[in-house]
């Protein structure tokens, strides 16, 4: 692994060139003593499942991994919770409103942005959305569609952590959650209108 602060050549506090490696995650200024640690950036990934057990898949509009499959999500903003972040990203990318979130698992990743290897901590959330509202692709998503779990093409997901997360979900990690979800749905089944809209 290259040093996470490799592109930071000068001390951000005093501008000195003597901004050297302190340890594998940090740099220290030999002139003013400023120390900076690289920590993973918190990012969210939305696992959106509809009442028929289909998962919402997007196609990436931009690099990295432009054109590959993806799940909605992105970096959290300063000051927001991860739950707020995943709701915001889902709204921005798919137009859907998340009504409930449940943390699933986390996976670290490296995301090449602006020529820099950005280390992330991707937080996967099971997200419930209102049934009957079709997704529409915006922002970082070129396409958004519901796909049956059994038809998910795992290698077609371009970002490593998302690919691993989808593989984990396909391998059965979501089974219990889905049965719980279906259990909830049985007390309030989706309307016929909602079902027909989802089938479009």
Applying CB under 5 A, what is the total number of residues that bind Zn ion? 8
11 binds Zn ion (CB under 5 A): yes
Span from 6-14, 55-63, 65-73, 105-113 in contact with Zn ion (CB under 5 A) = 6-14
Task: Give the three-class secondary structure for 78.
Answer: coil
Q: Which two tokens stand for residue 33?
A: 């003593």
Cα–Cα distances (Å) from 10 to 29, 34, 114, 191, in that order, read: 8, 11, 18, 60
In degrees rounded to 5, what are phi and psi of residue 118? -95, 120
Question: Would you count residue 110 as binding Zn ion (CB under 5 A)?
Answer: no
Q: Tell me the closest approach of the beta carbon of residue 116 to Zn ion, in angstroms.
A: 20
| Binding status of residue 29 toward Zn ion by CB under 5 A | yes
Region for 197 from its dihedrals, namely left if φ exceeds 0, alpha if ψ lies in -120 to 50, beta otherwise: alpha
Chosen residue from 16, 22, 26, 68 binding Zn ion by CB under 5 A = 16
Stretch of residues binding Zn ion (CB under 5 A), selected from 32-40, 95-103, 143-151, 173-181? 32-40
Sheet holding 69-70, edge to edge: 69-70, 54-60, 141-148
Judged by beta carbon, residue 14 or residue 112, the one nearer Zn ion is: 14
Q: How far is the CB of 126 from Zn ion (least distance, A)?
A: 45
Residue 13 binding Zn ion, by CB under 5 A? yes
Residue 32 binds Zn ion, judged by CB under 5 A: yes
Interacting span for Zn ion (CB under 5 A) from 20-28, 31-39, 48-56, 141-149: 31-39
By CB under 5 A, residue 35 contacts Zn ion: no
Query: CB of 32: closest distance to Zn ion in angstroms?
Result: 3
Active site residues: 143
42: nearest Cα among 12, 81, 72, 99: 81
* Contacting residues for 184 by C-beta, under 8 A, at least 6 apart: none
From CA 47, how far away is CA 145, in angstroms rounded?
13
Binding site for Zn ion (CB under 5 A): 11, 13-14, 16, 29, 31-32, 34
């Amino acid at each position: 692994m290259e040093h996470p602060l490799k592109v930071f050549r000068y001390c951000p506090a005093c501008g000195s060139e003597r901004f050297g490696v302190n340890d594998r995650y940090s740099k220290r200024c030999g002139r003013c003593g400023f120390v900076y640690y690289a920590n993973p950036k918190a990012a969210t990934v939305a696992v959106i499942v509809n009442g028929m057990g289909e998962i919402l898949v997007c196609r990436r509009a931009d690099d990295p991994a432009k054109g590959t499959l993806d799940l909605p999500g992105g970096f959290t903003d300063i000051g927001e919770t991860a739950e707020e972040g995943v709701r915001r990203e889902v709204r921005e990318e798919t137009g859907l409103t998340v009504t409930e979130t449940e943390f699933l698992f986390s996976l670290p990743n490296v995301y090449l942005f602006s020529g820099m290897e950005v280390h992330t901590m991707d937080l996967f959330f099971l997200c419930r959305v209102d049934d009957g509202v079709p997704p529409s692709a915006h922002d970082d998503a070129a396409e958004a569609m519901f796909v049956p779990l059994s038809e998910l093409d795992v290698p077609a997901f371009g970002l490593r952590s998302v690919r691993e997360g989808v593989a984990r979900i396909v391998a059965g990690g979501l089974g219990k959650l889905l049965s719980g979800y279906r259990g909830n749905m049985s007390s309030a089944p989706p309307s016929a209108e909602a079902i027909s809209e989802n089938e479009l």
